[in-house]
Structure 1
Amino acid sequence: MLRAATENDVGTIRRLRNQQANRDVSITSHEITADEHAAWWAKTSVDPARRVLIYTRDGATAGVVNFFDLDGTTGAWGFFLDADGLAERGETLPAWIEIMREATAYAFDELGLEVLTGEVLEHNTVVRQMNRRFRFVEGTPETLYGGGREITVIPISLRKQDRRKGQST
């Protein structure tokens, strides 16, 4: 289930985002400080072109979905899971499929988007494979430099009419 994030979720969002598994597959890979996170939330929580959603599974917070650059017909997204907690419970794959289903449904059915975009790191082959299962199309890779490292980022996009709807992946 997805619900809007509130002020009460800010600490949990930061804790999940700072899990090593999530940092390893993020463009920004350093540990997010409390001040950095507070500044992000202060800006994000009042931005009409953004939505932050909490993904819950069996009553517990299990992930975060970020939608940004929303303009009415297009928008970008990203998400991260409670990698540590879900792995411990053996629920990573079902949660991953569920959050992607719910987030893409939210993008197209609730936000009314025609095109959903995002980015994935080139080395994140497992996510790239899952994106293809959900019918995302990869664009031209771009090399970025930051945080003392070189990374290759691949843009992805999914058009509303191409999405999986009501089907198993």
Structure 2
Amino acid sequence: MLRTATDGDVDIIRTLRNQQPNRDVSITAHEISAAEHAAWWAKASVDPTRRVLIYERDGVVAGVVNFFDLELDAEPRTGAWGFFLDAEGLAERGETLPAWIEVMKDATAYAFDELGLDELSGEVLEHNTVVRQMNRRFRFVEGEPETRVADGREITVLPITLHKDNRRKPKGN
């Protein structure tokens, strides 16, 4: 289940984002400080082109989904997204794969059914082969790789896109 993040979620968002498995597959890999996170939240929580959502699994916070660069008044309606899970907690409970599938289903449904997007985009690090495979399962298409320097390291980033007409349809539709 996805719900809108609130001020009460700020600490758990930072805690999850700073888990080493999440930092290892993020463009920004450094540990996010409390001050940096507070500044991000102060902007993100009032930005009309952004939605920060909490992913809950069986009533427990299990991840964060970020939609940003939303162009809801444009044609086509576009937006970008990213997410991270409670990698440590889900692994401990043996729920990583089902949670991952569920958050992707919920997030793409939110993008196309709630936000009404025509196209959803994002980025994935080239070395993150597991996420790339899951993205393909959900019919995201990879673009041309781009080399960047972030946090003092050279990374290769792949853009991904999913058009609403190509998405996996929820069962029963």
TM-score by length of 1: 0.98
Which sits farther off after the overlay, 139-148 or 122-131? 139-148
Distance 1:90 1:62 in 2: 13
Distance 2:109 2:8 in 1: 25
1:161 maps to which of 141, 158, 165: 165
Partner residue, 1:132: 136
Distance 2:9 2:45 in 1: 12
2:148 maps to which of 132, 140, 144: 144
Partner residue, 1:84: 88
Q: Where do residues 12-23 of structure 1 align in structure 2 (5 Å cutoff)?
A: 12-23=12-23
Residue 166 of structure 1 deviates from its aligned partner by 1.7
**Structure 1: 4+ residue segments shifted above 4 A:** none
1:150-169 Cα shifts (integer Å, max 9, x gaps): 000000000000000124xx
Which amino acid counterpart does residue 107 of structure 1 have in structure 2?
A
Query: In the comparison of the two structures, how many residue pairs are matched?
Result: 167
Which amino acid counterpart does residue 4 of structure 1 have in structure 2?
T
Which amino acid counterpart does residue 100 of structure 2 have in structure 1?
W
How much is the aligned-residue C-alpha RMSD, in angstroms?
0.5
Q: What's the secondary structure of 1:107's corresponding residue?
A: helix
Which amino acid counterpart does residue 30 of structure 1 have in structure 2?
H
Gaps of 5+ in 2: none
Partner residue, 1:35: 35
Distance 2:134 2:150 in 1: 26
Partner residue, 2:25: 25
Distance 1:52 1:16 in 2: 14
1:17-48 Cα shifts (integer Å, max 9, x gaps): 00000000000000000000000000000000
Partner residue, 2:98: 94
Q: What's the secondary structure of 2:71's corresponding residue?
A: coil
Partner residue, 1:51: 51
Gaps of 5+ in 1: none
Q: Where do residues 2-13 of structure 1 align in structure 2 (5 Å cutoff)?
A: 2-13=2-13
Distance 1:136 1:94 in 2: 19
Q: Where do residues 114-125 of structure 1 align in structure 2 (5 Å cutoff)?
A: 114-125=118-129
Identity of aligned residues (%): 78
Q: What's the secondary structure of 2:106's corresponding residue?
A: helix
TM-score by length of 2: 0.96
